[in-house]
Amino acid sequence: MSTVNPPKEQNLIEYRVDRILEEANTDTRIVVLARQDGTLDTFPIWVGAAEGNAIKLALDAMITPRPMSHDLVKSFAEHLNVTIQRVVIADVKSSTYYATVYVANKGVERTIDARPSDAISLALRAHCPIYITQDVLTRRSTTNLDAWLAKLESKNIGTPEVQET
């Protein structure tokens, strides 16, 4: 599905979901990833409210009466005997992160292109590791700064919630 080349293993840093923050005025959520090895470093990803809630449910290990969308993906994997190996946040283009889900069956590995929110939601349910490539980690600081500045600017100008149609 994806044309993204599998990144070299040594360039992957493992992260875990640390917490989900709510940004009330924009109805978005911030998924805060932290380094698995304990090194102090957090990696925030802005996601929609529904996407954030799907991650929160998995993070809190909540059992819902009916399977949620990512439970269904997991269920498909179980039916097809496919293992969800790992998810990798592999690219960032104009403030948008791109993730790749690695799946395997009968010794063959395949990759599926996904939004980080879907990848993380699935990883938490499938209990597989979440990685960020070194390349994305080096390139993110400016991207985040830009995103923050853009947010700050829009607030300071005092024209919130007005969208040109």
Partner 1 sequence: MFDPYNNAYIVVLRDEEHSDMLPIWVGKSEAGAISMAMENVTPPRPMTHDFMKSFLDAYNAKVISVVITDLSEHTYFAKIHLMYEDSEYTVDARPSDAIALALRCNAPVFANDTVITKQSSEELEQWLENLKPEDFGKLDS
Which residues of the chain form contacts with partner 1 (CB under 8 A)?
A: 1, 48-51, 54, 65-70, 72-73, 75-77, 79-80, 82, 96, 98, 101, 103, 105, 110, 112-115, 118
Closest distance between partner 1 and the C-beta of residue 58, in Å?
13
Q: Which is nearer to partner 1, 30 or 34 (CB)?
A: 30
Cα–Cα distance for residue pair 66/54, rounded to 1 Å: 13
Closest distance between partner 1 and the C-beta of residue 37, in Å?
29
116-126 vs 69-79: helix crossing angle, rounded to 10:
60
Closest distance between partner 1 and the C-beta of residue 3, in Å?
12
Closest distance between partner 1 and the C-beta of residue 79, in Å?
5
Confirm if 157 and 147 have CB atoms less than 8 A apart: no
Cα–Cα distance for residue pair 135/109, rounded to 1 Å: 22
Cα–Cα nearest to 20, from 32, 11, 35 = 32
In single-letter form, the type of residue at position 134 comes to Q
Q: Which is nearer to partner 1, 42 or 96 (CB)?
A: 96
Q: Which is nearer to partner 1, 40 or 62 (CB)?
A: 62
Closest distance between partner 1 and the C-beta of residue 127, in Å?
17
Q: Which is nearer to partner 1, 76 or 148 (CB)?
A: 76
Q: Which is nearer to partner 1, 30 or 77 (CB)?
A: 77
Range list of β-strands (E), the chain:
12-23, 28-35, 42-48, 83-93, 96-105, 108-114, 130-133
Residue showing tokens 């104009």? 94
Cα–Cα nearest to 161, from 21, 22, 27 = 27
